[in-house]
Amino acid sequence: MYIPIKKRYEQEAVKQLQEKYHYSNRMMVPKIEKIIINIGANRVMSEKYPDYVKWLKETIRQISGQNPLTTLAKKSISNFKIRENMIVGVMVTLRGQRMYDFLDKFLNTVLPRTRDFKGINPDSIDKQGNFSLGFKEQVIFPEIDPAAVSLIHGLEITIVTNAREKIKAYDLFKALGFPFVKSAKKLSGK
């Protein structure tokens, strides 16, 4: 039976983590704070296609259901031919119910549609307990019509938690139903 992520967190994950780590208060249990979806704007593509950034914004708007922000370069870097205040990407930050809705779609629709998907690598969790995953194609999202796409591009998704340790974040994601592969290396916060 399907249980939404928010309900699964409140009913199952909190109890599991509270028992495992002996938290005296349920507010001490790690939780997901936000999800960041980011697409880098390729300088060459921006020059070749004048509407490239507008097209990236529309793609991320369809995926997230929220208006994105354009990110600008903070300083000039001559080796990368980047000038200060040049558009370098498009991003959106999801919180609250929209974050949980996106997470449900991500786990139940997007990951199964990924070509040759065998599970998520636990090494995608960093030392601070945040999970990052990159995709080579945006067409794995159900909102994107592959027939209408003229250019394929990648995107990154970062799930930010307040776990502050890799193993606690792993246990949180596992309790929420993230499909991890068995890792040969032992998880540690170091």
What one-character-per-residue DSSP string does 53-103 give? HHHHHHHHHHHHSS--EEEE-SS-BGGGTB-TT-EEEEEEEE-HHHHHHHH
Residue 72, CA atoms < 13 Å, CB-side half-sphere: 6
**What pLDDT is stored for residue 73 in this prediction?**
82
Q: Is 46 exposed, middle or buried (0-12, 13-18, 19+ CB in 10 A)?
A: middle
Domains, the chain, ordered by start: 5-175 (3.30.1440.10)
Residue 15, CA atoms < 13 Å, CB-side half-sphere: 5
CA 156, distance to chain mean position in Å, is 6
The candidate with the shortest Cα–Cα distance to 129, out of 160, 175, 103, is 160
pLDDT per residue rounded down to tens, the chain (190 residues): 678 899 999 999 999 999 999 999 889 999 999 999 999 887 656 667 778 888 889 889 999 999 999 888 888 877 777 778 778 889 999 999 999 999 999 998 888 888 888 888 899 999 999 999 998 888 888 888 888 887 788 899 999 999 989 999 999 999 999 999 876 455 555 5
